[in-house]
Amino acid sequence: MSKRNIAIVVVVLVVVVLVVAGISITFLSSNLQGLIFKSKPTIIDTNKFRDISSISQKNLDAIKKVQRATTYCNRKNFKIGFILLYENKDQLTNERLDILKNMKNDLSQSFLYATKNLATMDTLDDIYLMPMENSWYFEDDDGKDIFFHLISKKFYETHYDIYDFLVLARTFDLNNVSETKANAYLLFSKNDISGIGIDIFDNDEKYGSKGKLLGSVVLNKDIKKYIIPPGEEIPSLILLHEIGHRWCCNVGDTFQNEANNAKLEIKTLANHFYPGLESGHEIATPMGGAHWVSNGDGTFKMVVSKEGIKPKYHDFFLYFMGLLPKSEYSKKFPIYAFGWETNNWNETKATLYKEISVDDIIAVEGNRQCN
């Protein structure tokens, strides 16, 4: 074979090799793409999304505020912080600390049970010991008292704004008139719910919170006076009651036996449930109302407590919290007439007065709504 023919054969072989290699690369590439993209990539049409840059900062803030308010007023998981105030360290005795610890440790399970497993209360944080400052005291017609909002402000200097409630306990008495009237009370810091009988307001800034705090429970005496005799009550009952005032009981009128055009008639002057309202449980609720059993002669007697039975919140209360399923709104609860608030109550011979439901509450107060 001449050199010229050999050269032609080599060129042909090179061309064939290149063609085969090109086909292989194309095949490999297509198969790799098939391995990497098992389905056709989604092409996002960005025109479907609103450009948030076109929304003013004012409107954005308003949107965030509505979202935050809706989330907060429908919250189901709560957190509570405990503060123990003292004037000198000698007051920090084991007896006082143990009483507050028992309240704290019992609250989580008792709150879960009281809300029928519909809400939780986180009590895990340690009790915060806070020395009193002279500027926190003031005098009025009732005597010596405390600016409690200054205490919570001080607390938030070293704590995150993560608490729905605070408990303000103390190791000393003030000996003022108000102490003889209430063992404890709730300092409201805000309400963002309409339809539960409470005005809309927000004082969180006054108490040092940036929007999380709902209220502070003030234990209005030396903590050692809250000792619970064994077997009589749950340690956290007073906390269940005062926390409950954040939602209850401000709807309707006091019981007046249909006089004065009274509506609903499910509460007392002190904003508790009227005791004649059936609790729907074996005993009374933390906010009032009671269980009523037949005497067999058309009258009924009140049952407030039973050994070993823990209290549950009323379904009306769960509605105020936003926890009650709508399927329960039509359920009727009896009201038993056993006397006006200003007259003597007969707890052993009450008569059936009427029945009401959440639907009846809504007809008077309007729907529960976040504001």
**Residue 231 and residue 285 in one domain:** no
Query: Is 10 within a domain?
Result: no
The number of beta carbons lying within 10 Å of the beta carbon of residue 58 is 8
**Residue 192 and residue 223 in one domain:** yes
Reported as a pLDDT band with limits 50, 70 and 90, residue 174 is: confident
pLDDT reported for residue 260? 84
Query: Is 148 within a domain?
Result: yes
- Radius of gyration of the chain from Cα atoms? 33
**Residue 68 and residue 178 in one domain:** yes
pLDDT reported for residue 31? 42
Q: Which of 217, 244, 271 is the last residue of a domain?
A: 244
Reported as a pLDDT band with limits 50, 70 and 90, residue 34 is: very low
Query: Is 170 within a domain?
Result: yes
**Residue 333 and residue 201 in one domain:** no
What is the total count of domains within the chain?
2
pTM of the model: 0.80
Distance CA 216, CA 189 (A): 8
Rounded mean pLDDT of 109-130?
A: 98
Reported as a pLDDT band with limits 50, 70 and 90, residue 181 is: low
Query: Is 135 within a domain?
Result: yes
Task: Report pLDDT digits (tens) over 35-77.
Answer: 333 333 333 333 333 333 445 655 555 544 544 545 678 899 9
Q: Which residues in 19-49 are b (16+ Cβ under 10 Å) and which e?
A: eeeeeeeeeeeeeeeeeeeeeeeeeeeeeee
Q: Which of 218, 244, 270 is the last residue of a domain?
A: 244
Q: Which of 244, 278, 296 is the last residue of a domain?
A: 244
pLDDT reported for residue 141? 80
**Residue 140 and residue 198 in one domain:** yes
In eight-state DSSP terms, residue 327 is G
Query: Is 12 within a domain?
Result: no
**Residue 202 and residue 271 in one domain:** no
- Domain range holding 349? 259-370
**Residue 219 and residue 291 in one domain:** no
Query: Is 186 within a domain?
Result: yes
**Residue 83 and residue 232 in one domain:** yes
pLDDT reported for residue 35? 33
User: 303 exposed, middle or buried (CB, 10 Å; 0-12, 13-18, 19+)?
Assistant: middle
Q: What is the pLDDT of the chain when averaged over all its residues?
A: 84
3-state secondary structure of 243: helix
**Residue 235 and residue 265 in one domain:** no
Query: Is 11 within a domain?
Result: no
Query: Is 36 within a domain?
Result: no
Task: Report pLDDT digits (tens) over 143-163.
Answer: 888 999 999 999 999 999 999
241 versus 21: which is more confidently predicted?
Answer: 241
**Residue 194 and residue 235 in one domain:** yes
**Residue 100 and residue 152 in one domain:** yes
pLDDT reported for residue 47? 37
**Residue 142 and residue 218 in one domain:** yes
